[in-house]
Amino acid sequence: MLAVAEINYIRHEVNKKDCTYSDVAKRTGRDPRTIKKYAEMEDFNQKPKKKQNRVAPVLGPVKSLLDEWIKEDMKKKKKFRRTAKRMWDLLKDNHGFLGSDRTVREYVAMRKAEFLNEVNDAALPLEAVSGTAQVDFGEAPFIYGGEDIVLPYLVVSFPFSNAFYFQVFPSQNKECFLEGMKRVFHYMGGVPKAIRFDNLSPAVKKILPNGERQLTDEFQNFVLHYGFECEFCNPNSGNEKGHVETMVKYVRNNFLLPGLHVINLDDLNKELWATAEKDRERKHYQKEWTISELFEEDRAAFLLLPPKEYECVRYETLKADKYGYIKVDLNLYSTSPRYALGKVLVKISYNKVEILNDDQQLVVSHSRMYGQYRKSMKWQPYLNLMAKRPTALKYTSFYDQLPEEWKSYFSACTVAEKPEALKLLSIILKDHDFSVITKALVIASEHGHPSVDAIKQVFYQLINGRGIRSDIKPNISLPKLPEATRGLDHYDQFHKGMDA
């Protein structure tokens, strides 16, 4: 395009002064065809420049392969990504590439920048972008242990495909929140690249100015471990995660009403994977594809799982009371007599409360309880103390929990036997339940009241798979001996034989 002043001069000389194209060309030093073009031009609207698609005969055939490698690497940590030099080596060695390393480096740098821009744009979960998710809790009625209760369920939804997963939990606490997401990640075999949340207390400790969030330590570590981008709604703006809120209602109305009978939550949650996947065989409400087909695009955009699974637990140092109980939430859990009035390290997950010693070895494990004040007592650590006061046995809840065989045995024990039996149970119950040691007691009692050592011997024979040795019955025949008689007749007969 010529300068505006030069174009005006050409149009003036040709159209106003009737000069020939050749004359004006000589004066301006331009080609006569250029003079003709601008003198007769009628459309001066600005037009966008056409992108030049230059043919790349060497690089062209491998561009799609390089794109694939770059996208694969963007799912990995930086230290695990292929360098442009490494890509060039692979192309040379495996694909007969003849181009220079500089050509590959320039292309890789350009495409990385383009893909990063796409990822940044895609990190807004409000848009239906593949590989992104939204998370929230819902509540539904259940019949559990014969009682009508309300339990929360965690929903992870995928706006691009309209797919979802959900899991039922006893609470909406940090451990259940993280456990639910972790289960979904590992079941899918990948991690959404961006996840939108409400300002849930398990994730957000405090909302700061300028839209910043102070995250809970557990959630921050979880995010770092799995590497996804987390976004939060503005306060009181649940509509910003409208997809998952819709899915929460959809899940409750279609799968959880009326209230399900629940015997074991873990068994129920195993069934819910198939429930969610079966729902995907319908068409998307807008797109002409099934949800299951669209979810494959979501899956293709996921980040890779880290090599190690995250442990959704928190550690607390708590003080035990004089009986050795510690309090977690509103409930009491036994530790060991040696921790009475002392501090103990507690490992807390969504379903367990574990007491650890100073070397972080397990002392005792409890199932985690939810609801109002309850008490969990594990007697094994207390049995050695009880062995010093055996007369107190009948007045403990441990005695009520004993199998009838053991109650009968303790009733028949001598004063000396009771402490020894309690010490044996202290050792056995550390790694085993009552089933095998009770069987050992029954077998050892076949010939009367057994000693503690006899019960112990039978127990170890049972767990080592050697069985119980039966009485030995020799399989040999002995010569028949003459009947023994009293008196001296046999002596007289002996002498008669000698005289003959």
Per-residue pLDDT of the chain (500 residues; tens, 9 = 90+): 677 788 888 888 888 788 899 988 998 889 989 888 888 877 665 555 555 566 667 888 888 899 989 888 887 777 778 888 889 889 999 998 888 989 899 999 988 888 877 655 444 444 578 899 999 999 999 988 778 899 999 999 999 999 999 999 999 999 999 999 999 999 999 999 999 998 888 888 888 877 678 888 899 889 989 989 888 876 655 555 688 899 999 999 889 988 889 888 999 999 999 999 999 989 888 788 899 999 999 999 999 999 899 999 999 999 998 888 999 988 999 988 888 889 999 999 999 999 998 888 888 899 999 887 888 888 778 888 788 888 878 888 788 878 899 888 888 888 888 889 888 988 888 888 888 889 999 999 988 899 989 999 999 998 887 655 554 455 555 556 556 555 555 545 545 554 54
Q: What is the DSSP letter of 326?
A: E
Domain-by-domain residue ranges, the chain?
Answer: 4-40, 60-122, 132-300, 314-378, 382-463
**CATH 1.10.3470 given to domain 314-378:** no
- Strand partners of residue 343: 319
Query: What is the pTM (predicted TM-score) of this model?
Result: 0.65
**CATH 3.90.1150.10 given to domain 132-300:** no
Q: Are 180 and 294 in contact (CB under 8 A)?
A: no
**Topology match between the domains 132-300 and 314-378:** no
Q: What is the DSSP letter of 15?
A: I
H helices of 96-216, in order, are 101-122, 174-188
